[in-house]
Amino acid sequence: MPDILGRVLCYLGLHDFVLTDATFGFGAPGGISKLRCRRCGKIKSKLM
Ligand SMILES: [Zn+2]
C-alpha cells in the first residue's frame, strides 16, 4: 500500500491496528488490550 494512502486512511481514522499487549487486571472485568497502528504508531486501548 502506498505510504500516502496509508496516511490518508489514518487521517480518516482508519488505522491499521495490531495487537501489541494484553493485560488482565485483578478484580477488573475482563482485560485491556493495547492496539498500535503499524503506520502512524497511534496507540489505542481497548476493553476486552
Ligand atoms: Zn494510523
Residues, CB within 5 angstroms of ligand 1 (ion): 10, 15, 37, 39-40, 42
The label of the residue with cell 497502528 reads 37
Q: Can you tell me the distance from the alpha carbon of 40 to that of 23, in angstroms, rounded to the nearest whole number?
A: 23
In this structure, what C-alpha cell is assigned to residue 19?
495487537
Q: Can you tell me the distance from the alpha carbon of 24 to that of 1, in angstroms, rounded to the nearest whole number?
A: 34
Q: What pLDDT is attached to residue 31?
A: 77
Q: What pLDDT is attached to residue 11?
A: 95
Q: What does the pLDDT profile of the chain (48 residues) look like in tens digits?
A: 578 999 999 999 999 999 887 776 666 667 788 899 999 999 998 877
Q: What pLDDT is attached to residue 15?
A: 95
Q: What pLDDT is attached to residue 36?
A: 94
Ligand 1 centroid from CA 11, angstroms: 7
Identify the bridge partners of residue 25 per DSSP, sorted by sequence position. Answer: none
Ligand 1 centroid from CA 26, angstroms: 31
Q: What pLDDT is attached to residue 1?
A: 59
